[in-house]
Structure 1
Amino acid sequence: MSTHPAAPVPESLFADEREQRWRARFTAVRMSRPAWALDAPDRCVYSSNLSGTTQIHLWDRATDEHRQLTDRPAGTYHATLPPDGETVWWFADTDGDEFGHWVAQPWAGGAQTRPLPDVEDGYPAGLDIGRERVVVGTSTDDGTTVWIAERGAAAEILYKNSEDAGVGGLSEDETLVAISHSEHGDSRHPALRVLTVSGETVAEKWDGPGKGLSPIAFSPVRGDQRLLVGHERRGREELLLWDVAADTETELDLDLPGELDADFYPDASAVLIWHTHAARTRLYRYDLGTAELTELPTAPGCIGSADVRPDGTLEYTASSAAHPSAVRALSGAGDDVLVQLGEPAPDSVPVEDLWVGDVHALVATPEGTGPFPTVFTLHGGPHAADEDRFSPARAAWVEAGFVVVEVNYRGSTGYGSAWRDAIEGRPGLTELADVAAVQEAVVGSGLADPARCVVEGWSWGGYLALLAAGTQPERWAAVIGGVPVADYVAAYEDEMEQLRSFDRALFGGSPEEVPETYRVASPLTYVDRVRAPVLVLAGENDPRCPIRQIDNYLDALAARADLPYEVARFDAGHGSLVVAETLRHVATEIDFARRATVRITPASI
């Protein structure tokens, strides 16, 4: 392995008030929506960066006391409360590698214990804690195992398969367990199975090739064995109720364009609907008795997490590109901020919609007159989407004078199943065709300087950025890939089994079965064509985009000898939960892009 040039981290990006402002957007206290214990709703758990690292925090609503529970160097993100709220369960991995087990700590404080010592370490594959039973999924190189345990008893294997699977939910009476599985070989379009707690199959549901089913939640009413399910029978994500006991189903006929998700109200008389369309998400209430659909008067912006309290209060998070996220409560008394820890982050600029054919993009523009240096930032996933939500990173690029263009390329969610699945068999190059079309449109409008276009992304977005470097070398003045796939064959060999299963479904097989598909999709294939300076940011403990395959790509860059490139390595997994580390990443990226784009002028094209 070669020694690679380390990317410098600038002490500051600006010599004026912008320096404090961009940093404040990251250091301002952020928190997830507090989730409560079902039988003790005054006890809540949330994640927050209050300490400078994302950790698990507790909120006792009765006393309004907030306490930090975890204090691990790499941070802690996943946590939940059992119904009684007497303990807090959180997932313990090593240095952000996502491989580990659940631990429990008393609500009142005390030492952590391992409540399920019989369950093997693995990547998390779902958890549901009932009053008497716990169901937990783990994923390893051998596949997925679902375990079940009665309180205080040893865990037993409920389900095991070499293909990807996960816990979908435990019924309220704790007699049934729903799982999603891909025994048919396609983890991107899972099937459903409902088991008794002794492991007997009660019911099966599969809509056939290319049509996934996702268990959302069992009814919260004891004795009601209806399961809320997401389906895609008409080319988009929709909803149905499956009465498992009767094996009958009712599709929810909702006249809303775009994608739908949902959860039950506490009495199961209605469902709370998330409606995502054109990069915005809003909330509705759907009455199951009358079929009446009502939009809820939530705050302007894009809705994130939401749930309904036992008293009927809707608690949710909302933000927009211009305004930071807030945790809010909507009740008969009105809509207001529920809880705010510290001063909110400074505002930023709004985004505007850009449609290039069927490709949707969001554009944020700095003050001044174009053409501007422009960063085309590509989201991860690929099954995700950029939305009109607050982003400190987007705001930092705008402060630095860059237009920011976020492209919801084919493969993104929120635009229907055909759009999401269009990358099957040809991942990478399909998405980049959409990015190229948007880049041409933004340059053609006079907004973007064609000589100062930067492509940037993390995870799948980082992969696309490195692939763009070699397959679209004429378009880019600089390339930034955070925790990317860089050598797809080596990545497949080293990544977690859940992602290997995903890749087999996406590519049509393993690298041994379809080697040409992987070769064409791998950034390493095109390293000799790269012309623009490259920055790679990589986590040493990343299970999703492992470090060996990144080193292979960097070694190939080093062998070029004619191409400037830089590397920023950090001691974490697939990104960092440490605010100071995130600040270093953003400063490094913007400084790199500035230096790279200064080297190129229109006359040199």
Structure 2
Amino acid sequence: MSGGHRLFYPALPVVAEHAPHRAVYVGDAEGRCEILAWDRSAGTARQVTDRPAGTIRAAIDPTGTTIWWFDDDLGGVGTWRTCGFDRPDRSVAALPSVPPARHAGIAMATDGTTAIGLSDDGGMTLFLRSGDGRVSERAHVTGYAYLVDLDPAGQLAAIGADAATDAAVTVFTTDGGRVADIAGRADGRVWALGFAPGSGPARLLLVIEDRGGYLPATWTADDGLVRHDWCRFDTEITAGWFPDGQRLLVRQDRHARSLLHEVDLAGRTRTVVDTPTGSILDAAVWPDGDIAYVWTDSVTPPQLRSVRGLELPEHPGGQPDAGGPDAVTAPTDYRREEIRVPGPGGPIPALVAVPTDRDGPRPAVFLVHGGPFQHARDAYDPLVEVLVSTGCVVVRVNYRGSSGYGAAWRNDFSAGVGLTQLEDLAAVRAHLVAEGVVEDRRTALWGTSWGGYLTLLALGRQPELWRLGIAISPVADYVAAFEAATPAVRALDVLLFGGTPGEVPQRYARSSPITYVDQVRAPVLLAVSTGDVRCPPAPVEHYARLLAGRRVPHQVVRRRAGHEDFDAQSHLALMQTVLLFMQRHFDGVRDEGTPVALAMARPVG
């Protein structure tokens, strides 16, 4: 097994199906994410893209001769371009007659026929580009939808949508005819994952949520949907095919860590693949049969590893492509714990990092994960290291709604959207205060995206608990954010709330931070991005004006970025700004020369 090389962006390289010595991946270009072309046989790479905001979406055709990359703006609207693998400096528009739109999937058949999904406010349109470059529109789906895959023969396309609806998965012919509809429901969601490789009848792989667990299923035109009930998992999974089209590689997120399983559908066997303890962020079986994966744990940045052993190439500038800045040096005097705290919905899992240089309670920062269907995991996060070095306890709660703990936990919003999660945050906080780990009057919240939303909601709903809030790209007003959001985000909101703001206005109001802005007492730092279409900046700016009217200490940081910022220097600057804000407002004393304040003011990096 390889010792691994770090990745700048935690996703596997994409390998050409019939030329596995050629691949593309997201690498580091002066602190930005850019696409690199990797000649595995020569062990070399060359940079393909060079854009101010970086590039993260790319594909390569089965023969390894043509690279595709998505040229989008900060809001995610753009066009696909192509270039030769050997001439990455010469790119042309792949769909010259198609207007810019949002990426909604790309897939290729064996002969190079390419299916492209592009979305706008009206839905998703499926385009087909033939091997000789002809482009035609083949299907349109209203609302939120995305292209999953194209079968190897180029005859069928699988389209995914909201996994809990009747239109969870639709199979079309590439002429636009509807072949099959595979329905999901609120307690039995369905996700399509991809067609099996090979020359036989098209066989689509799916995952089904069933009775609190998850299992693989397959669909063919002749047999319809076939469930593999013998292969049930208790927590969330995703999967892909081995090159033989008979076996599956299943990646399972379980209790803040990950497992890989090799599943033989015909032989009805399941075997755990030997991988180190930690988290696997991406995994696939490459055309040569090697199992490649992106691995990390709490002290190791993400690395590319494989069962057979592989290494990333030399950086085009001659230096090893180590994948961005070095890891923050981990403090030697802290311990990591996993705890379960009694809560209103059952035991609440949390990951806790505690400095050990002295006894007694400490100030604490709760890092609130986003999603909501994500989870805090045994994975490297430099922010944990930085905050521990300041003397703070760092707490990451896998509240109800988090993945990795089964469907019942993931689907529990019984006290209301956001409000359920606040119950769990408060319960973990109370436990750590009672145990003497955390100071009662010095607890802060720090969250991004949906974690930023929970931060603002908690500051208004639980003002007596939280001394400070850091909300990066948050939702501040759920109704205003819904109106400005993309179809994908609106579909998630409808799923969470059980309707639109017009249909269930009381639910949105009860769960919206702006409803409770008059109760906020703690200082707040708000970071917004100009091109953010998931958590639009305008409602956050309005929220900040309301804070200003009440003279609540706050700061607004404005960044030129989309919802996700792929510029390392921008991240660094934001972290330093946040730490200085914490220095001013989190110590609880006028004297800014205390040890905690001085530690928080130290430059990062």
TM over 0.5, shorter chain: yes
Query: What is the CA distance between 1:29 and its match in structure 2?
Result: 5.6
Q: Distance in 2 between matches of 1:545 and 1:531?
A: 23
Residue 257 of structure 2 is aligned with which of 265, 280, 283?
280
Partner of 1:518: 508
State the match for 1:198 in structure 2. 175
Give the distance between the partners of 1:40 and 1:336, measured in 2 at CA. Answer: 17
Aligned length: 567
Residue 107, structure 1, aligned to residue 107, structure 2? no
In structure 2, how many angstroms separate the alpha carbons of the residues matched to 1:392 and 1:276?
A: 21
Give the root-mean-square deviation of aligned CA atoms: 2.2
Cα distance change, pair 188–421 in 1 and its aligned pair in 2 (3 A): farther
Whether the 8 Å CA contact 2:531–2:561 is kept in 1: the answer is yes
With over 3 angstroms needed to count, the CA separation of the structure-2 counterparts of 1:202 and 1:28, relative to structure 1, is closer
Matched, 1:345 2:327: yes
Could you tell me which of 363, 369, 381 is aligned with 1:373?
A: 363
Q: 2:355 is paired with a residue of what secondary structure?
A: coil
Which residue number corresponds to residue 559 of structure 2? Answer: 570
Give the structure, 1 or 2, with the largest relative contact order (CA under 8 Å, sep 6 or more): 1
Measure the CA separation in 1 of the matches of 2:587 and 2:566.
32
Letter of the structure 2 residue corresponding to residue 471 of structure 1: R
Deviation at 1:399, TM superposition (A): 1.8
Alignment of structure 1 residues 441-452 onto 2, 5 Å:
441-452=431-442
Any conservation in 2 of the 1:373–1:453 contact (CA below 8 Å)?
yes
Structure 1's 100 and 30: CA in aligned 2 closer, same or farther, altered over 3 A?
A: closer
Please say if residues 382 and 460 of structure 1, whose CA atoms lie closer than 8 Å, have aligned partners that are also in contact: yes
Alignment of 1:351-370 (within 5 A): 351-357=336-342, 358-368=347-357, 369-370=359-360
Flag the 1:248–1:255 CA change in 2: closer, same or farther, 3 A.
closer
Does the 8 A contact of 1:28 with 1:344 survive in 2?
no
Q: Say if 1:212 and 1:117 are closer, same or farther in 2 by CA, change over 3 A.
A: farther
Aligned to 1:159: 139
Stretch moving more, 362-371 or 533-542: 362-371
- Equivalent residue for 2:48? 69
Distance (Å, rounded) in 1 between the aligned partners of 2:13 and 2:92: 23
On the 8 A contact 2:7/2:302 being kept in 1, the answer is: no
String of CA shifts for 1:501-540, please: whole Å, max 9, x gaps. 2212222222222221111111111111001100001101
Equivalent residue for 2:599?
A: none
Which whole-Å deviations, capped at 9, do the CAs of 1:45-65 have from their partners, x for residues lacking one?
111234211111121112111
Pick one of 208, 211, 216 that aligns with 2:193: 216
Does the 8 A contact of 1:189 with 1:212 survive in 2?
Answer: no
Q: Secondary structure at the residue paired with 2:465?
A: coil
Q: How many angstroms apart in 1 are the aligned matches of 2:232 and 2:500?
A: 40
Counterpart for residue 17 of structure 2: 38
Spell out the pairing of 1:23-62 with structure 2 (5 A cutoff): 32-62=11-41
User: Residues 192 and 511 (structure 1 numbering): CA distance in 2 closer, same or farther, change over 3 Å?
Assistant: same
Q: Partner of 2:429 in structure 1?
A: 439
Deviation track 1:435-482 (CA, whole Å, cap 9, x = no partner) reads: 111111111111111111001100000011011111110111100100
Give, in angstroms, the shift of residue 224 of structure 1.
3.5
Q: In structure 1, what is the equivalent of residue 499 of structure 2?
A: 509
Aligned to 1:539: 529
* Structure 2 counterpart of 1:387, from 377, 391, 397: 377
Assess if the C-alpha contact under 8 Å between 2:328 and 2:382 holds in 1.
Answer: no
- Whether 1:91 and 2:52 are equivalent positions in the alignment is no
| Pair 270,29 (structure 1): closer, same or farther in 2 beyond 3 Å | closer
With normalisation by structure 2, the TM-score equals 0.89
Q: Tell me what 1:581 maps to.
A: 570
Counterpart pick for 2:275 among 268, 273, 298: 298
The 3-state SS of whatever aligns with 2:417 is coil
- Residues 401-455 of structure 1: CA distance to partner in whole angstroms, max 9, x if unpaired? 2211111111212222232222278211111111111111111111111111001
Measured in 2, the distance between the counterparts of 1:91 and 1:338 equals: 23
Q: 5+ unaligned residues in a row in structure 1: which ranges?
A: 1-26
CA distance in 2, matches of 1:237, 1:100: 35
Q: Is contact 2:460-2:520 (8 Å) kept? A: yes
In structure 2, the residue matched to 1:4 is none
Indicate the SS of the match to 2:95.
coil
Is contact 1:453–1:478 with CA below 8 Å preserved after alignment?
A: yes
CA contact (8 A) 1:425 1:508 kept: no
- Structural mapping, 1:392-411, within 5 Å: 392-411=382-401
Asked if 1:241 is matched to 2:218, the reply is yes
Residue identity in the other structure for 1:550: V
> Shift in Å at residue 188 of structure 1?
7.2
